[in-house]
Amino acid sequence: MNAENFGSSERLVTAAYVRQGAQGRRAHELRLRALLEQGKCPEDGWDESTIELFLHELAIMDSNNFLGNCGVGEREGRVASGLVARRHYRLIHGIGRSGDISAVQPKAAGSSLLNKLTNSVVLDIIKLAGVRTVTNCFVVPMATGMSLTLCFLTLRHKRPKAKYIIWPRIDQKSCFKSMITAGFEPVVIENVLEGDELRTDIEAVEAKIKSLGAENILCVHSTTSCFAPRVPDRLEELAVICANYDIPHIVNNAYGIQSSKCMHLIQQGARVGRIDAFVQSLDKNFMVPVGGAIIAGFNESFVQEISKMYPGRASASPSLDVLITLLSLGASGYKQLLKERKVSFLASNTFFKSAGNKVLVKTALCGKACLCLENRTEVTQGSLLFFIWPYCAFVL
């Protein structure tokens, strides 16, 4: 409803009431405006009705929804099933262009806005979560592992001779596969035991770089989010080494946005040394369905290079999910979740310390005792529980 339509409405309904209604609409427009102008996650969450109205507005900006085209065969963005059209809010064009997954599309201003805003709002959240100096990021509709693969494939073009990836060991299948799929040889660096914790063996990393030759190494592939007794990699030291030897550094930060500790490590690493990109999962960090990731970095042109490596347009579905979720939580809602996670962590840590030898134990790959009870992965008495799955104090 624009001004003219509100005017016409006064023919039917008392002008004063219509004006009150127009005021109601104005409040929605102002919210939208703040989002469009600042590109930040709104402090307070939006209600569902504002979000849906916004998505409807985006959809009618896409050419497949232009009225003249309805039902008359616009060849792009045609959808056979009404169920499918509706569940995507009629945003059908996907994101990006064949040349660049972050690019705008000529015929889909609405989908393009969705893509830009999502990346912008997510960037804001990454800053808010602790990596203040991040400059660029984009949502990609692929798993974290596949996104790491894309990073490695991008680096190949910069380091054509490199064959190896230096990788402080972390026992997660898809991390390992991300390197194999990209066609590189992972060079596993075993961790060292310090007290209760398994930590990065910095000396071994440096020794390996020297022995292989820096030019033969594609990158160092480090990890922040992991399970005890494995603790996050020593990102600062690794970043310094990478800077010294001029080797790229890709960080697997899978579940780390929600952890102030992981985010702090990345921020510090980038401050004192070199981090080229850090990659995180959408589902666990933002409580959306499985299937998306965020690739972020400190150098705009490198992040853009990665986004240009994806051949073809991509699904907008994960972007849509994360945008809806962040608009509905608001920055304050997201901060609240971060806070709750911290409390969970402390609570469960205490719990484990008191649980004593009653807990069932099985030997994990990493060579340390850890407990698996149904869906819960917990640690034995005395060891430090680093990472508690998101917001799950209650299941413990």
Question: 274 or 284: whose CB is closer to a second copy?
Answer: 284
Q: How many angstroms separate the CA atoms of 187 and 57, rounded?
A: 50
Contact call for residue 367 and a second copy (CB under 8 A): no
> According to the annotation, is 75 in a ligand binding site?
yes
Collect all residues with Cβ–Cβ distance below 8 Å to 132 and sequence separation of at least 6. Answer: 267
Question: 12 or 357: whose CB is closer to a second copy?
Answer: 12
Tell me how far, at minimum, the Cβ of 357 lies from a second copy, in Å.
25
- Give yes or no for a contact between 220 and 189, defined as CB atoms under 8 angstroms apart: no
Alpha helices, DSSP H, located in 213-286: 235-245, 260-272, 282-286
H/E run at residue 326: helix 317-355
Show the binding pattern over residues 7-26: x = contacts a second copy (CB under 8 A), - = does not: -xx-xxxx-xxx-xxxxxx-
Show the binding pattern over residues 49-68: x = contacts a second copy (CB under 8 A), - = does not: xxxxx--xx-xxxxx-xxxx
Question: 21 or 367: whose CB is closer to a second copy?
Answer: 21
Out of 41, 42, 102, 116, the residue judged to bind a second copy by CB under 8 A: 116
Q: How many angstroms separate the CA atoms of 20 and 22, rounded?
A: 5
Site stretch for a second copy (CB under 8 A), options 6-14, 237-245, 265-273, 297-305: 6-14
Taking the alpha carbons at both ends of the chain, their separation in whole angstroms is 50
Q: Residue 300 burial (CB < 10 Å; 0-12/13-18/19+)? A: exposed
Tell me how far, at minimum, the Cβ of 273 lies from a second copy, in Å.
26
- Give the count of residues interacting with a second copy (CB under 8 A): 138
Q: Compute the radius of gyration of the chain from its Cα atoms.
A: 24
> According to the annotation, is 313 in a ligand binding site?
yes
Interface with a second copy in residues 289-328 (CB under 8 A): 289-292, 309-318, 321, 324-325, 328
Out of 41, 42, 90, 274, the residue judged to bind a second copy by CB under 8 A: 90
Question: 35 or 275: whose CB is closer to a second copy?
Answer: 35
Q: How many angstroms separate the CA atoms of 10 and 21, rounded?
A: 11
Tell me the torsion sign for CA atoms 172, 268, 277, 45: positive
Interface with a second copy in residues 225-284 (CB under 8 A): 283
Show the binding pattern over residues 331-350: x = contacts a second copy (CB under 8 A), - = does not: ------x-------------
Quote the Cα angle for 237-241-245, to 5°: 175
The two structure tokens encoding residue 11: 């023919």
SS3 state at 133: coil
- Give yes or no for a contact between 224 and 266, defined as CB atoms under 8 angstroms apart: yes
- Give the CA dihedral 386, 122, 52, 72, nearest 10 degrees: -130
- Give yes or no for a contact between 250 and 151, defined as CB atoms under 8 angstroms apart: yes
Question: 110 or 273: whose CB is closer to a second copy?
Answer: 110
Cis, peptide link before residue 141, omega less than 30° from 0: no
Question: 134 or 388: whose CB is closer to a second copy?
Answer: 388
Q: Which residues pair with 136 in a beta bridge?
A: 297
Tell me how far, at minimum, the Cβ of 345 lies from a second copy, in Å.
13
Question: 39 or 367: whose CB is closer to a second copy?
Answer: 39
Show the binding pattern over residues 169-198: x = contacts a second copy (CB under 8 A), - = does not: ---xxxx-xx-xxxx---------------
Tell me how far, at minimum, the Cβ of 68 lies from a second copy, in Å.
7
Question: 144 or 380: whose CB is closer to a second copy?
Answer: 144
Site stretch for a second copy (CB under 8 A), options 77-85, 129-137, 189-197, 363-371: 77-85
Binding-site residue set for pyridoxal 5'-phosphate: 75
